[in-house]
């Protein structure tokens, strides 16, 4: 299995969660690596701005004696969860508006570790 196929498999497994609409793997520089973006979104804008959101949150909180867990964007009909995927990537997961974040974090924990080992 190629590395790209492996990443797609990891993302497909996350997408099987009933709380997840779609999941995208993005480089820290804001480029699409794998997965799907929402159909209504412009791919380049969605992935670039997701990387900027996480990077901004990391910068804004860097002076605190604590570690950023994730960024959560609350929309009217969904949520966007942005998580650190290691030094090369971030995981952007669009969720149902009633998703329980702790449940989603459990679903993404091992896949994120796989992504870190893959990249």
Confidence of residue 1 (pLDDT cuts 50, 70, 90): low
In this predicted structure, what is the pLDDT of residue 113?
95
Query: What Rg do the C-alpha atoms of the chain give, in angstroms?
Result: 13
- Distance in angstroms (rounded) separating the CA atoms of residues 57 and 14: 24
Angle at 38 (CA atoms; ends 32, 17), nearest 5 degrees:
95
How does pLDDT run across 2-39, given as a tens digit for each residue? 676 789 999 999 999 999 999 999 999 999 999 999 99
In this prediction the pTM is: 0.94
**pLDDT for 5:** 77
The whole-angstrom separation of Cα 107 and Cα 111 is 8
- Closest listed residue to residue 20, CA positions, set 90, 95, 77, 72: 95
pLDDT tens readout for residues 59-108: 999 999 899 999 999 999 999 999 999 999 999 999 999 999 999 999 99
Q: ∠ CA(103), CA(47), CA(2), 5° rounding?
A: 80
Which residue ranges make up each domain of the chain? 3-118
Give CA–CA dist 82/61, Å, rounded.
15
Where does the pLDDT of residue 48 fall: very low under 50, low under 70, confident under 90, or very high at 90 and above? Answer: very high
What CATH number does the domain located at 3-118 have? 3.30.450.30
Q: What residues form DSSP beta bridges with 93? A: 23, 81
Tell me the two tokens of residue 112.
């994120």
Closest CA to 94 of 105, 112, 106, 82: 82
């Amino acid at each position: 299995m190629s590395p790209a196929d492996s990443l797609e498999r990891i993302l497909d497994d996350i997408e099987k969660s009933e709380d997840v609409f779609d999941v995208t793997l993005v480089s820290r520089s804001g480029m699409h690596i794998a997965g799907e973006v929402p159909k209504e979104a412009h791919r380049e804008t969605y992935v670039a701005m997701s990387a900027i959101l996480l990077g901004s949150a990391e910068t804004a909180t860097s002076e605190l004696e604590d570690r950023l867990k994730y960024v959560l964007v609350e929309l009217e009909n969904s949520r966007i969860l942005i998580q650190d995927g290691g030094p090369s990537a971030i995981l952007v997961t669009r969720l149902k508006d009633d998703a329980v974040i702790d449940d989603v974090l459990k679903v993404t924990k091992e896949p994120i570790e796989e992504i870190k080992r893959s990249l």
